[in-house]
Amino acid sequence: MSAQIIDGKAIAATLKDKIKQDVDALKANGKSVGLAVILVGDDPASHVYVGSKIKACETAGITSTEERLGDDATEQDVRTVIQTLNANPYVHGILLQLPLPDHLAQVQESLVQEILPEKDVDGLTTLNAGKLFLGLGDGLVPCTPQGSLLLIKSIEQNLSGKHAVVIGRSNLFGKPMAQLLLQENCTVTIAHSRTKNIEEVCKQADILVAAVGRTQMVKADWVKDGAIIIDVGINRQPPKVEGGKSKLLGDVDFDAVSQVASAITPVPGGVGPMTIACLLANTVKAAS
């Protein structure tokens, strides 16, 4: 048996078409949609992410602005930019690109909380996290878990009673993913670095979501026959020869696991495109 490959690019493209229609409808009523991205420092990966977000905004008709701060930016510098954007009526969504440089790591959480909850398109403020926890539908939900759920539901609409295992317990992904699956009436287990017999826990999953940042950690013998696999990991493998290309690998051993699973997301081309599409969707929701 070979698993169905879940095409995140195709599903994201359909979602982006719908978003463009929503943006056009808002514009027809005299309302623009604006997203501001704050980028602190010179992390190359962050620059690539921000570039792709800005490009996606252009395609959808969303006005995007980029606020760049140097590696030497202080906490107050970042706070001032956030407060200015909070007060700007033409900015509906604010995204602080994480992680921040090392010298701001201690204050990263308090800077995120500085963003107005109604403009928090990453869904990381305590108000939005609380709304998700309580199952209220009017908050903004983190983009990657939201996109991952859409990928799962592209394979199976009714998740009621399924056992879902999420590997990873981060505020950015693991915890919100678990909440979304609970809302779909799944039985949810969160596994992490301290979980005993993690292979056995994973083997019970009808839906297995891996988000740990460890290259090809999930092997075929961790996976139940016919499970749906969502691979959130993005691990860059250095080139095998000098001058060669580096390779992106997920947290799941794709070749082996795809012989056992019923459906699986590739890396790249799975969860990544959905994250950006859901960021645009959150921005439109915030503008509406």
Rounded to 5°, the CA angle 154-272-62 comes to 95
Strands 207-210 and 228-231: parallel
| DSSP secondary structure string for all residues of 247-271 | EEE-SB-HHHHTTT-SEE--SSSSH
7-46 burial: b if 16+ Cβ within 10 Å, else e: bbeebbeebbeebbebbeebeeeeeebbbbbbbbbebeeb
**Cβ pair 269, 5 in contact under 8 A:** no
124/69 Cα distance (integer angstroms): 21
Q: Residue 249: what residue type? A: L
Give catalytic status of residue 122 as yes or no: yes
Give catalytic status of residue 285 as yes or no: no
Residue 161 pairs in a beta bridge with none
Choose the catalytic residue: 22, 122, 251, 253: 122
Choose the catalytic residue: 16, 97, 131, 285: 97
103/88 Cα distance (integer angstroms): 28
Choose the catalytic residue: 16, 53, 119, 131: 53
Rounded to 5°, the CA angle 12-211-229 comes to 65
Q: CA dihedral in degrees (252, 257, 258, 262; nearest 10)?
A: -100
Rounded to 5°, the CA angle 231-149-95 comes to 85
Q: Give the residue numbers marked as catalytic.
A: 53, 97, 122
